[in-house]
Amino acid sequence: MSEDTETVLPFIVKVINDMYTRITEIGKSIENLNTKMDEFTYTITDRIVNLSEGITGIIEIITANREASFKYFSDSVMELKNEFLSIRDKSLELAKIEGKLAEKMSEAKVFLQDKMMDAEFLSLVFELKDLSNELRAITK
């Protein structure tokens, strides 16, 4: 082996080890990001479900109170029916919105994960390019 080869080989081994370490760190970062996104999505979904249950509970209490009050006023039966239908429609709309929100959150999570992976990949490409340029400069 020539003297240049003996000095370059440890450097190349070190660079490859550094690249492996960085790729491992990036993998761990992506796993941590996935975990945090799962926790974030679960927290948001849980809060929306709790809010929905609270609103549903409030709507049920209001409906029960109104039904009890309207019992004494026979001329308000039609008004009670219309209001109940409106509450039901709003509950159905809320359920649809919750489903769409959960779907959009899932899509956003996947989109963000893809963008993070793209950014990490580009970072690796630029690091490899810099390394290649340094190796070319050394070998000239």
* Pair of tokens at residue 132: 């290649």
Per residue of the chain (140 residues), give pLDDT as tens: 567 667 788 888 888 888 888 989 888 888 888 888 888 888 888 888 888 888 888 888 888 887 777 666 666 767 778 888 998 998 899 889 888 988 988 998 888 898 899 888 888 888 888 888 888 888 76
- The DSSP secondary structure of 32-46, one letter per residue, reads HHHHHHHHHHHHHHH
* pTM (global) more than 0.75: no
**Are 109 and 41 a contacting pair, CB within 8 Å?**
yes
* Pair of tokens at residue 33: 């990001």
Enumerate the domain spans of the chain. 3-139
